[in-house]
Amino acid sequence: MDSFSIGISGLKAAQKAFDIIGNNVANAATDGYHRQRIELRPAYSGQVGSILLGGGVEVAGITRLIDGLLEQEILRQKSLLGQVSQEFATLRTVENAFGEFLEGTGLSTAMDNFFNALQDLSAHPTEIIWQNQIVTIAKTMAGQFRTLGEFLTSLKNQIELEAKNTIEQINILTNRIAELNDNIEKQEISGGQANNLRDQRDQSITELSELVGIETQARQYGVIDVYVAGTSVVIGATAIDLEVGLKEEGKLGISVAGANNFNINVQGGRLGGLLSLRNELVSDIHDDLDDLATAMIQQINQYHVQGVGSTGSFTDLTGWPVTSEDLADFDPPVSDGTIYIRVTNTSTGTVTRTAVPINASTDSLTTIATAITAITGLSASVVSSKLHIQADTNYKFDFLPAVLPEPTASTLTGSPPSISVSGIYTGTANDTFQFTVVGTGSVGNGTLQLEVRNGAAELVSTLNVGSGYAAGDKLDIGNGIKISLSTGDLNAGETFDVDAFADTDTSGVLAAIGINTFFSGSSALDIAVRSDIAATPGRVASALGADMTDNTNASRMAGLKDQTVTSLNSMTPGEFYRQMVTNIGQQLFVKQARKDNIESMVQNLGNQQGEISGVNINDEAAKMLIFEQMFKAMAKYLSTIQSSLATLMELL
């Protein structure tokens, strides 16, 4: 009977081998399938005397051909590829949005056109055609900023939505992995082999790695636990759902559903790419664009508030609404300083300048309004969180830095000459020039002189007003300021002062609350030309002089094109923008190179995996022939044994 057992064991082994080969061939094109191999070993039957008798063959098991280290590396590289592919695709979209600017039709050109229009206006400061041009071109530039700002805002929202969709896919996969873990464990605890189920589970893990970076931990009976960013998402047969949300600082992260403990340090896979884009790459580009728009708004406005256009001084001005009336809450912050308001009595021609001190930590719109109301000819109020300044009848006001027509202080006595002051101060800081009489006598006679010293008591100039000076001639003291004296007497040691202003708002509060600004808004999303400027282009503040026909303010606003700005990393606006575009291109180049390298690595790893775990149809066919011959031989063997027994029985 042992002979029959041997034959039957061979037939069973061959039949089992056919099943394995058939399963391999059937799954030759199945993603994630690992080739299986039947393991045979000789069966022991017994011993007769000194002879050890064989018992045929037995199936020791079915081996799933897999390299664990190789599989882990494939998971890691596919996770990296998922992230870099997502980052590359999204940055390419951003590049396309910015790419048109390199062709001379976008923001770069619009900025150049804006500064060029200011230069044109400086050549024709009172002509309406050039005033209209700067308004039109400024609107175009602001529109370009808003278009980009809206695009990046929409892109960030889309990334957040895609992250939520991705987390849903992740939850589906983790639940599938947990279910397969359960089935694998049940089957293998009972002594079975769940190779096909393991393949299905491992394929789901591979798909999960393409969505997010994972770590795995093998357990008994084929169970694998899965972790995402240090959080368990699969523990045996239990899956833990995740959710996407924003942390307090506005960054996107993941958390166990319902825990609201969001982790932004998620790497790998599509989700890692989306979080990297939302929290860093796209957000950094958006922040840079906002910084550029904010710098343009602030730099232009800080000059514009001090000037006037061809329409002249104001009878009323209204700022924009602020979220808090307290200066301490302003962002960007204002500083301690002074506002200098120039008031003109239109009936008498008298011009006065009043200083309004600003304390950034204690003042509010209301305290500023109270201080302005105390100025003769003006009243101010706060309406709907906006400062409103109004001139009384026969009064106008402005913030021109133009020197007052007469000295601001004097110790002249007797029959002094009339002193006229004119010009536009070209210095970089506010100053007071004191004129001291040297000698005694009448203007135009003798050796009479004026020594001019600045606020630091440094001698600036010595002016001859004695012999050789004709009453009424203008004398240049430097920095754009001139004085002239009529006939009269001067005494040695007498003095008079002339205040010179480079900045009539050293606190920056006027630009912060929108008084006489050119632009409104605070970022790329809301930058716009002020509606009152757009409606009345003559309000474009091109002049700083008392006659209000000069081009000084238009020229210095145009000069901002070549001035470095601290908030723009000490670059000019054009340089900062060009660096933005260059950085996007550099990031794309790096992402493309990395993506190509990882794809090549994944392909090489896949080839190695195929050599180990893949199904080769020719090899399987060769094995089938071997086991077919084995089956036939075992059948022949059994037939021979049966014939021999039949012959023996006949003999008996």
Q: How do beta strands 51-64 and 36-48 pair?
A: antiparallel
In this prediction, residue 7 carries a pLDDT of: 83
Q: What is the pLDDT of residue 97?
A: 86
Range of the domain at 446: 409-500
- % residues pLDDT > 90 (the chain): 80
Evaluate whether residue 496 is within a structural domain. yes
Domain contains 492: yes
pLDDT for position 650: 77
Which residue among 433, 465, 500 closes a domain? 500
* Residue 462 host element (H or E): strand 459-464
Using CB atoms within 10 Å of the CB of residue 641, give its burial: 0 to 12 exposed, 13 to 18 middle, 19+ buried.
middle
24 in a structural domain: yes
Quickly tell me which residue has 């969709």 as its tokens.
165
According to DSSP, residue 455 is labeled T
Task: Domain count for the chain, please give it.
Answer: 2
**Distance between alpha carbon 609 and the CA centroid of its chain, in Å?**
40
User: According to the model, what pLDDT value does residue 101 have?
Assistant: 47
Rg (Cα) of the chain, in Å, rounded?
A: 44
Specify the pLDDT at position 56: 85
CA distances from 546 to 301, 404, 464 (A): 20, 8, 26
> What pLDDT is stored for residue 54 in this prediction?
73
Residues in the chain, pLDDT under 50: 1, 101
Q: Give the pairing of strands 495-500 and 351-358.
A: unpaired
Which of 453, 482, 500 is the last residue in one of the domains? Answer: 500
333 prior amide bond cis, ω within 30: no
pLDDT at 103: 56
Q: Does the residue 433 lie in any domain?
A: yes
Look up the pTM and report it. Answer: 0.86
Residue with tokens 């069966």: 43
- Position 527 scores a pLDDT of 96
155 lies in some domain: no
- Which of 478, 500, 522 terminates a domain? The answer is 500
